[in-house]
């Protein structure tokens, strides 16, 4: 969200988001960049008061000034758009390290999230992903506006126009053992950023492919879609229990695989099922954590009135 | 090795001795005797002890015979399988050039020890992990024995699942990357363009036919499979 719009920032804690990105980049006009920087310190506690993580997206060409303004206690992550080389990442890492020290933040707290949005970034993607231990998640969710502009490709088409560049990003993330951010192709020909139904389909497709990390959205209307779409459904959980029951039978038989109701049961299916159950637990825990935090803040506000 | 007659590669678990005799009667061009993927730890010793005889049984029907070995600890697998009648090894989950160099050296020693022509054993590398695919070029050029590359069961090993389009996530990218790489270094790309609901080389005959058609169209020259009924469609399409 644009950090220069106070009503967005003030209300953000109520939205049920896992994270909020305070934007210094594309949603802030050039003549307000200096002002925007002064708002980060006071905005972070507003975001995090009820369990939401605070990220800041900096401007690529204003990396140093933006990062110095952004690294405050409570910040989880710097989003670095249009990353193109490993050297840039190392330079950002150095600024963060310096600011963490200056502001009494434990070293290594602030993560780096690189946006790959240009052809050069794709070419250097493995070096970029391995340039800093602060990079914990990596990958490509969608091509994005900037990538489309850089490559001159159309954005809203009914087929996957970014197979190669998304593959490059994702393979690098997987090879380095990072959290993989990816989104399976779901046609988006409208370009709407507030279409909750489309966001839900996209998140569900990602969940079905085993992904757990969303790329975020641009409108509060999609938050619930993301939260629901990335959470295993009751049917998923039932199915996982069924797979594990079948797998116990398989293990007793000594066969490498078997077919039950036209489905293959083997150790890979069992592993997926265990993963689904563990993820369902984590989602439930996170929901509890956020609900409790919101209730706590509301109680505090009521007490103050 | 003649690439043209290696259309179908039937993987047979060494944990199932009966399956080897069955495979020998099939029309598979290559039989891969598996010591890794389908053999549990407690079955390993028996599997290794029985593979020499299995090579004779498998080749009796005219198929070439490969053994699928574990690169984590290759010595025992290689010592068990490098015998007359074996054409080479499929390296499961190949991940580093050092592994391939070690296997190459080991093969040379065994060839010498067992009076086999030097460098007669070939290698096919199964790039089934992210690291293996990321470093594919270095891995695939680590030995002159490498004849072929395949993604093996990457969909399962890397946990790649079907997208709404039916494509298996990341596989279109990995397949095209593998084909380019294989042709760059002059080895044979092996695989088929599987789609949902196919998984891990298990598919119906009809789906195998379609996967082979798509696979041939992007440059694959033959494919691995796990079921006898998949052989005919592979032989037909990769002819």
Greatest Cα pair distance in chain B: 54
Cβ neighbours of residue B121 closer than 8 Å, sequence gap 6 or more: B82, B86, B87, B88, B89, B107, B111, B145
In this structure, are strands B122-126 and B146-150 parallel, antiparallel, or unpaired? parallel
Contact B133, B157 (CB under 8 A): no
Nearest to B129 by CA among B108, B154, B104: B154
A145-152 LR contacts (CB < 8 Å, sep 24+): A146/A81, A146/A82, A146/A115, A146/A117, A146/A118, A147/A116, A147/A117, A147/A118, A150/A117, A150/A118, A150/A119, A151/A119
Best CA proximity match to B9, nearest among B111, B116, B122: B122
Beta-sheet strands, E only, within B19-63: 30-34
- The greatest distance separating any two alpha carbons of chain A, rounded to the nearest whole angstrom, comes to 71
pLDDT of residue B3: 46
With beta carbons less than 8 A apart as the criterion, state whether A201 and A230 touch. Answer: no
What does the pLDDT read at residue B1? 47
By the CB < 8 Å criterion, does B13 face chain A? Answer: yes
d(CA A159, CA B105) in angstroms, rounded, equals 47
Task: Find how far residue A98's CA is from the centre of its chain.
Answer: 25
CB contact under 8 A, B159 and A210: yes
What beta strand segments (E) does chain B contain?
8-13, 30-34, 64-69, 86-91, 122-126, 146-150, 188-190, 223-225
**CB within 8 Å of A125: residues ≥ 6 apart:** A116, A168, A169, A172
- In chain B, the residue whose alpha carbon lies closest to the alpha carbon of A267 is B156
- A92 vs chain B: nearest CA distance in angstroms? 26
Q: Which residues in chain A land under pLDDT 50?
A: none
**How many alpha carbons lie under 13 Å from residue A219 in its C-beta half-sphere?**
12
Do the chains contact at B164 and A163, CB–CB below 8 Å?
no
A and B: number of Cβ contacts within 8 A = 74
User: Each residue of A4-14: pLDDT tens digit?
Assistant: 999 999 999 88
Q: Which residue of B has its CA nearest to A165?
A: B173
Binary contact (A175, B134; C-beta < 8 A): yes
Burial-class residue B147 by CB neighbours within 10 Å (0-12, 13-18, 19+): buried
CA B239 to chain CA centroid, Å, is 18
Of B86 and A191, the structure prediction assigns the larger pLDDT to: B86
Residues 6+ apart with CB under 8 A from B39: B13, B14, B15, B47
Asked if B134 and A126 come within 8 Å (Cβ–Cβ), the reply is: yes
Chain A residues near residue B169 by CB distance under 8 angstroms: 182, 184, 209
Closest alpha carbon within chain B to A162: B173
Q: Which of A141, A146, A139 is nearest to A169 (CA)?
A: A139
- Tens digits of per-residue pLDDT, B92-126? 999 999 999 999 999 999 999 999 999 999 999 99
Q: Any idea what DSSP says for residue A204?
A: H
3-state per-residue secondary structure call for A71-89: CCCCEEEEEECCCCCHHHH
User: Nearest-CA residue of chain B relative to A269?
Assistant: B156
Residues 6+ apart with CB under 8 A from B27: B8, B231, B232, B235
3-state helix, strand, coil in chain B (%, to 5): 45, 20, 35
Does B164 contact A185 at a Cβ distance shorter than 8 Å?
Answer: yes
CA distance A237 to B92: 32
Angstrom distances, CA of residue A166 to CA of A1, A184, B41, B161: 25, 10, 37, 16
Rounded percentage of chain B residues whose pLDDT exceeds 90: 91
Specify the pLDDT at position A160: 84
Q: What confidence tier does B14 reach under pLDDT thresholds 50, 70, 90?
A: very high
Q: Testing the interface with A: which of B169, B199, B203, B229 to mutate, by most A Cβ within 10 A? A: B169
**Interval B126-164: pLDDT, tens:** 999 999 999 999 999 999 999 999 999 999 999 999 999
Helix axes A163-175, B171-185, angle to 10 degrees: 90
Cβ–Cβ gap A209/B173 under 8 Å: no
Neighbouring C-beta atoms of residue A260, cutoff 10 Å: 14
Burial class (CB in 10 A: 0-12, 13-18, 19+), A81: buried
Q: For residue A208, which residues of chain B lie inside 8 Å, CB to CB?
A: 161-164
Do the strands A263-265 and A258-260 form a parallel or antiparallel pair, or are they unpaired? Answer: antiparallel
Nearest to B114 by CA among B145, B83, B87, B86: B83
Beta-carbon-side half-sphere exposure of residue A28 (alpha carbons within 13 Å): 27
Nearest to B15 among A201, A256, A268 (CB): A256
Instruction: Supply the pLDDT for residue A254.
Output: 80
CB contact under 8 A, B158 and A174: yes
d(CA A115, CA A141): 10
**B 182-221 near A (Cβ less than 8 A):** 199-200, 202
Give B160's contacts in chain A (Cβ within 8 Å).
209
* Subunit contact B159:A175, Cβ cutoff 8 A: no
């Amino acid at each position: 969200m644009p950090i220069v719009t106070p009503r967005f920032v003030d209300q953000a804690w109520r939205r049920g988001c896992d994270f909020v990105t305070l934007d210094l980049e594309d949603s802030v006009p050039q003549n307000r960049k200096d002002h925007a920087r002064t708002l980060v310190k006071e905005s972070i506690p507003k975001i995090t008061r009820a369990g939401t993580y605070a990220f800041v997206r900096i401007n690529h060409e204003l990396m140093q000034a933006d990062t110095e303004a952004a690294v405050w206690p409570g910040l989880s992550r710097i989003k670095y758009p249009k990353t193109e080389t490993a050297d840039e990442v190392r330079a950002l890492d150095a600024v963060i390290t310096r600011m963490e020290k200056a502001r009494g933040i434990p070293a290594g707290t602030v993560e780096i999230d690189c946006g790959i949005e240009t052809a050069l970034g794709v070419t250097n993607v493995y070096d970029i992903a391995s340039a800093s231990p602060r990079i914990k998640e990596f990958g490509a969710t969608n091509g994005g506006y900037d990538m489309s502009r850089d490559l001159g490709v159309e954005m809203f088409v009914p087929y996957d126009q970014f197979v190669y560049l998304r593959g490059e990003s994702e393979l690098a993330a997987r090879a380095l053992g990072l959290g993989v951010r990816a989104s399976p192709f779901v046609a988006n020909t409208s370009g709407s950023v507030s279409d909750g139904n489309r966001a839900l389909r996209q998140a569900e497709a990602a969940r079905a492919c085993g992904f757990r990390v969303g790329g975020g959205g641009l409108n509060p209307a999609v938050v619930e879609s993301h939260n629901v779409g990335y959470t295993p459904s009751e049917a998923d959980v039932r199915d996982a229990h069924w797979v594990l029951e079948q797998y116990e039978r398989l293990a007793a038989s000594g066969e490498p695989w078997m077919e039950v109701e036209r489905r293959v049961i083997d150790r890979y299916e069992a592993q997926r099922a265990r993963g689904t159950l563990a993820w369902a637990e984590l989602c439930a825990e996170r929901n509890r954590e956020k609900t409790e935090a919101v209730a706590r803040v509301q109680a505090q506000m009521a007490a103050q009135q | 090795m003649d690439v043209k007659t290696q259309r179908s590669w039937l993987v047979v678990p060494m944990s199932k001795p009966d399956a080897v005799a069955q495979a020998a009667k099939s029309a598979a061009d290559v039989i891969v005797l598996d010591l890794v993927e389908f053999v549990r730890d407690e079955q390993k010793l028996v599997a290794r002890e029985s593979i020499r005889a299995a090579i004779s049984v498998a080749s009796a029907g005219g198929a070439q015979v490969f053994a699928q070995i574990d690169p984590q600890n290759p010595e025992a697998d290689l010592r068990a399988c490098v015998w007359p009648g074996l054409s080479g090894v499929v390296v499961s989950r190949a991940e580093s050039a050092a592994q391939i160099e070690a296997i190459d050296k080991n093969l040379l020693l065994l060839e010498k020890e067992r009076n086999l022509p030097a460098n007669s054993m070939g290698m096919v590398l199964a790039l089934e992990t992210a690291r293996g695919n990321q470093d594919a070029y270095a891995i695939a050029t680590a030995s002159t024995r490498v004849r072929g590359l395949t993604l093996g069961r990457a969909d399962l090993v890397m946990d790649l699942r079907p997208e709404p389009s039916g494509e298996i996530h990341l596989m279109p990218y990995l397949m095209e990357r593998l084909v380019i790489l294989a042709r760059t270094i002059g080895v044979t790309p092996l695989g088929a363009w599987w789609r949902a609901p196919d998984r891990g080389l298990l598919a119906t005959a009809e789906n195998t036919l379609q996967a082979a058609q798509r696979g041939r169209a992007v440059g694959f020259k033959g494919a691995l499979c796990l079921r006898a009924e998949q052989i005919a469609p592979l032989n037909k399409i990769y002819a």
